[in-house]
Amino acid sequence: MNRKGFTVIELLVVIVILGIVMALVINFGSSILGNAKKDLYVQDAREYIKAARIELIKHSNRYPIDDHNTTTTYYIHINNIPMEAESGSPWGDWVEAYVVVAVDSEMNYIYGWTSKDVAGYTVETVREDKLSRKDIIYTDPESGLSFPAFEGRNNKIIIIGADGTVSEV
């Protein structure tokens, strides 16, 4: 018998196979895209930390940081950090974003990061050298950031807000 077409069964098998392949490709692609966005989030955070480090070296009196106080954690809002080019979360603008600064026992600055964007992606306070894509978690977009002591400090927390005001928590 000479057939000149496909049967309905053959077409259904092909469609099912294509559907499975597409599901795998979409899942794999979204995973790659999600990781790329997280890597960009971390890279932007590190750029702000780098800019804060430079700013503290050039203008140490601009921020109320006591170089000899090893018990205080300072949160500097990113609006207070000059950047050549603005950056932000790949999921939207940052609602809150701070460079975290503390002084160690040898009077060196230790830097960290905490942030939350409009989509709800958050980094709870983490040290710069430990910051990675695994630190980016999804939280309720309506909740605020917490300001914990950093690197074992337990005395006081000073926040330099978006408008430059200084407050103690």
State if pTM tops 0.85: no
pLDDT tens-place string over residues 9-47: 888 888 988 888 888 887 777 778 888 999 999 999 999
Q: Which two tokens stand for residue 104?
A: 């160690």
- Minimal CA–CA distance to 34: which of 123, 139, 133, 116? 133
Q: Please, what is the average pLDDT of the chain? A: 86
Is the C-alpha dihedral spanning 67, 68, 70, 75 positive or negative? negative
**What's the CA gap between 115 and 101, in Å, rounded?**
14
- DSSP, collapsed to helix, strand or coil, labels residue 104 as coil
